[in-house]
Amino acid sequence: MSSQYLNGLYRELEDRYPEQKEYLQAVAEVFHSIAPVLEKHPEYEKANIVGRIAEPERIIIFRVPWMDDDGNVRVNRGYRVQFNSAIGPYKGGLRFRDNVNLSVLKFLGFEQVFKNALTSLPMGGGKGGSDFDPKGKSDREVMAFCQSFMNELYKYIGPNEDVPAGDIGVGKREIGYLYGQYKRLTGEWNGSLTGKGLTYGGSLGRTPATGYGLCYFAEAYLKDHGESFENKRVVISGSGNVAIYAAEKAEELGAKVIAMSDSDGYIVDPEGIDIGILKTIKEEKRERIRRYAEQVPSAEYHEGCEGIWTVPCELAMPCATQNELDRKDAEALIGNGCRGVFEGANMPCTPEAIALIQKSGLLYSPGKASNAGGVAVSGLEMTQNAQHLNWTFEEVDRKLKEIMVNIYRSARDTAAEYGKEGDLVAGANIAGFLKVAQAMLEQGVC
């Protein structure tokens, strides 16, 4: 019965949103995992919880006009998908990238609902952004865009309503411009964005949180299998916020990070990537990753980012973007003796790649569980802002580690409870779903 219910709902979504491939992909994975939950809890089907959870509560779409440095007036599309507020205010990042569309933001918002529930903090799920790409734009252009974006968005956000943060293309610089404009428009300092700078309400530990959290999760998972980061070769895709701090923590835990990428290509450094040099290139100078190989003699640069998964390693951490690791990449990793794939990005592995990785007995953690550290520390930033307090880095980092280990255990134990031992995809989806579904049930039809 429950499978029939889920199949019917999925077909309806396919008919309604045939062009939203990423959204349908994310929904299909969750529906697949939660079938046994619905068998056990017929009340969720009766209240049509799944039909409701798959639809965003609200989507806001707006025009973002701004002027470039040559005096041309440009127009982008802005979005905020307020997906689910059953357990707290909408919470989730803003993505600025040319390929942003409703399908991508709905997939991210949907994932965010379950991820936020896993952190055990009171946060609902949302996501937003624009098809504007800050890459190659001057600081003034980025500021003009961010101010115009906020001129519309400010009407829909607030500390108890919706609290956006960063994502691809939205880092500290963009959050600063967005928050400055929010304050100017509302006349309020209320912490309505997270990922803020340390001088104006940001939390120590937020910048590295997603990458560090990914490694804390992986460390707990590896330990359960008698393994560790010690002396492992690690390949990490991307060289943005998540990738850089995953690399930093992996090296701190005794691993050697030997390859990283950006959307142009990848570098291989068998000596272990020097994170200090990489940070200067990517964070300070905003240059391309090929520069690393120009500066470090032991490194080589390969044009085109796709080949990175052919570099032999024991641990792989996709930290760039969705669907970046497909079946042939998984085959290459497995063929080269890889032992675990831990997702830092959202939905970086295709369903075919995940099936193969799991079937081959590798450790595998889905992003919605292993990359929850960023939003968890954002939740801690909200708490600090509400209390007008600043916690030390050590305190935030300790809390982050505790949350990530708990998420790992919750996914592991829930999987076992539902007869899917070792399947963290099922465990994370079910654990996140149970919390949101119960809250929705108790709140009635709304």
Active-site residues: which are they?
127
**Cβ(203)–Cβ(384) below 8 Å:** yes
Q: List phi, psi (to 5°) of 60.
A: -110, 125
Residue (371 or 414) nearer to ligand NDP, CB: 371
Q: Which stretch binds ligand NDP (CB under 6 A): 150-158, 220-228, 316-324, 392-400?
A: 316-324
Residues of the chain by 3-state class (helix, strand, coil), percent to 5: 50, 15, 35
Span 194-233, contacts to ligand NDP by CB under 6 A: 210
Minimum CB separation of residue 405 from ligand NDP in Å reads: 18
Applying CB under 6 A, which part among 60-68, 164-172, 293-301, 408-416 lies near ligand NDP? Answer: 164-172
Q: By C-beta, is 130 or 210 nearer to ligand NDP?
A: 210
From the CB of 83, what's the least distance to ligand NDP, in Å?
Answer: 15
- Rule CB under 6 A: say whether 432 interacts with ligand NDP: no
Nearer to ligand NDP, 78 or 374 (CB): 374
* Rounded Cα–Cα distance for residues 208 and 195 (Å): 11
Interface pick for ligand NDP out of 116, 192, 241, 385 (rule CB under 6 A): 241
List, in sequence order, every residue forming a beta bridge with 167; answer none if it has no partner: 170
When asked if residue 111 is in the footprint of ligand NDP (CB under 6 A), the reply is no
Instruction: Please identify, using beta-carbon distances, which residue of 251 and 324 lies nearer to ligand NDP.
Output: 324
Q: Does 248 bind ligand NDP (CB under 6 A)?
A: no
**Residues binding ligand NDP: what is the number (CB under 6 A)?**
27
Burial state string for 415-437 with b = 16 or more CB within 10 A and e = fewer than 16: beebebeebbbbbbbbbbbbbbb
Q: Is 321 in the site for ligand NDP (CB under 6 A)?
A: yes
Q: Tell me, rounded to whole angstroms, the distance of Cα 357 from its chain centroid.
A: 20
363-393 in b/e burial notation, b at 16+ Cβ within 10 A? Answer: bbbbbbbbbbbbbbbbbbbbbbbeeeeebee
What burial class does residue 247 get, using C-beta atoms within 10 Å of its C-beta: 0-12 exposed, 13-18 middle, 19+ buried?
A: buried
Of 12 and 264, nearer to ligand NDP (C-beta) is 264
What are residue 130's DSSP bridge partners?
Answer: 78, 96
Stretch of 5-13, 30-38, 326-334, 344-352 lying at the interface with ligand NDP (CB under 6 A): 344-352
User: Could you give the C-alpha distances from 388 to 101, 131, 144, 193, in angstroms and in order?
Assistant: 36, 35, 30, 15
Which residues make Cβ contacts (< 8 Å) with residue 359, sequence separation at least 6? Answer: none
Rounded to 5°, angle at Cα 361 from 356 and 366: 65
DSSP 8-state assignment for residue 170: B
**Does the footprint of ligand NDP cover residue 169 (CB under 6 A)?**
yes
State the residue number with the nearest CB to ligand NDP: 240
> Does 240 sit near ligand NDP (CB under 6 A)?
yes
Among 150, 168, 247, 332, binds ligand NDP (CB under 6 A): 168
Among residues 190, 228, 263, 310, which is the contact residue for ligand NDP, using CB under 6 A?
263
CB of 253 to ligand NDP, least distance (A): 19
Does position 380 interact with ligand NDP (CB under 6 A)? The reply is no
Minimum gap (Å) between residue 169 Cβ and ligand NDP:
5
* Interface with ligand NDP, residue 345, by CB under 6 A: yes
Q: At what angle do helices 393-417 and 373-387 cross, to 10 degrees?
A: 130
Which token pair is 264? 């142009």
| Contacts with ligand NDP, residue ranges (CB under 6 A) | 135, 166-169, 171, 210, 238-243, 261-264, 305, 319-321, 324, 344-346, 371, 374
